[in-house]
Amino acid sequence: MVALAGCAPERGLVLATTTSTYDSGLLAELIPPFEKEQGVTVNVIAVGSGQALALGQRGDADVLLAHDPQAEEDFMAKGLGEVRRRVMYNDFIVVGPPQDPAGIRGMKDAAQALSGIARAGVPFVSRGDNSGTYSKEKALWKKAGIAPEGAWYLSAGQGMGETLNLAREKRAYTLSDRATFLAQGKPGLEVLVEGDPALQNIYHVIMVKGLSGRKAEVARKLMDYFTSAQTQERIASFGLEKYGQRLFFPYTEQE
């Protein structure tokens, strides 16, 4: 079952996760087998990583699947998480109009690419929300030594799918996770910058502290399920048949 942010989900085990794991279709493949095996309902709330962590802090989520490492480390340092494990990774990409008015196509340094966009003053759409993608974008602007502002810099304040829609409409650039970009299939946008190690996108699963009884037991089993060999194989093969490439890579392949 998937509930949107702001809705009150049926109280089963609540998994708060990033929009990319939902929008890509990954959770639709991973969660049902776990529910059937354990005889439980996993209620998924798909929001930005920051919002997912906030839900965990408030006690409105039991397990978190996020991709904002620094915010996750802060969450754990505050004693809000019981345990945190790596699950998978993919990467961020800079996408934009095929005409590429900023001339960034093929660049391998994402911060330099953003500098080129800023210098050209061409539209860039930011997530502008409390998400792991926005955290990565801000880190890249900081690396570039730029505080983005002006008419060319647009804040969507929404999820990745909506941000991509706005970028397409405005013929603008944006930063996206690869999985959502491929799954959404946005015409009018192309991958222009990729392959920078700074664009790596790591996902961790966190069990919220304070769970007890059956809820704690099932939460631990979900943690084990995400990191099990069988699930890691499913993650490794996800997207190959439909998109001809992987959307996520299991943590077991990470150095």
Residues 168 and 231 both lie in one domain: no
B/e letters for 15-29, b = 16+ CB within 10 Å, e = fewer, are bbbbbbbbbbebbee
**Residue 55's pLDDT is what?**
96
Of residues 11 and 204, the one with the higher pLDDT is 204
Looking at the structure, do residues 85 and 206 belong to the same domain, yes or no? yes
Residue where the block lists tokens 């969507």: 156
pLDDT at residue 4, rounded to an integer? 42
Do 80 and 99 reside in the same domain of the chain?
no
pLDDT bracket for residue 247 (50, 70, 90): very high
164 forms bridges with which residues in the sheet?
none
CA distance 249 to 237: 9
79 shares a domain with 144: no
Distance of CA 123 to the CA centre of its chain: 23
Q: Which residues of 109-136 are buried (b: 16+ CB within 10 A; e: fewer)?
A: bbbbbbbbbbebebbbbbbebbbbbbbb
Residue 246 confidence (pLDDT) above 50? yes
Claim to verify: residue 18 and residue 59 sit in the same structural domain: yes
Number of domains in the chain: 2
Q: Which of 233, 211, 51, 57 is nearest to 132 (CA)?
A: 51
Same domain, 85 and 41: yes
Do 233 and 171 share a structural domain?
Answer: no
Inform me whether the pLDDT recorded for 2 exceeds 90: no
Q: Specify whether 167 is located in the same domain as 224.
A: no
Q: Model pTM?
A: 0.86
Q: pLDDT tens digit string along 111-142? A: 999 999 999 999 999 999 989 999 999 999 99
Residues 33 and 59 in one domain: yes
Residue 18 has pLDDT above 80, yes or no: yes
Domain of 16: which CATH number?
3.40.190.10
* Same domain membership, residue 221 and residue 96: no
Paired sense of beta strands 13-17 and 63-66, if any: parallel
Is residue 228 located within the same domain as residue 246?
yes
Take residue 181 and report the two structure tokens written for it: 């970009």
Q: Which pLDDT belongs to residue 91?
A: 95
Q: Determine the structural domain holding residue 107 and report its residue range.
A: 91-199
- Nearest of 67, 109, 107 to residue 87 by alpha carbon: 67
Placement of tokens 């995400």 in the chain: 226
Strand, coil or helix: 56: helix
For residue 76, give both structure tokens.
Answer: 């754990």
Q: What's the mean pLDDT when you consider all of the chain? A: 92
Tens-digit pLDDT profile for residues 45-83: 999 899 999 999 999 999 999 999 999 999 999 999 999
Per-residue pLDDT, 3: 42
Q: Tokens 């405005």 map to which residue?
A: 170
Query: 44 and 96 share a domain?
Result: no
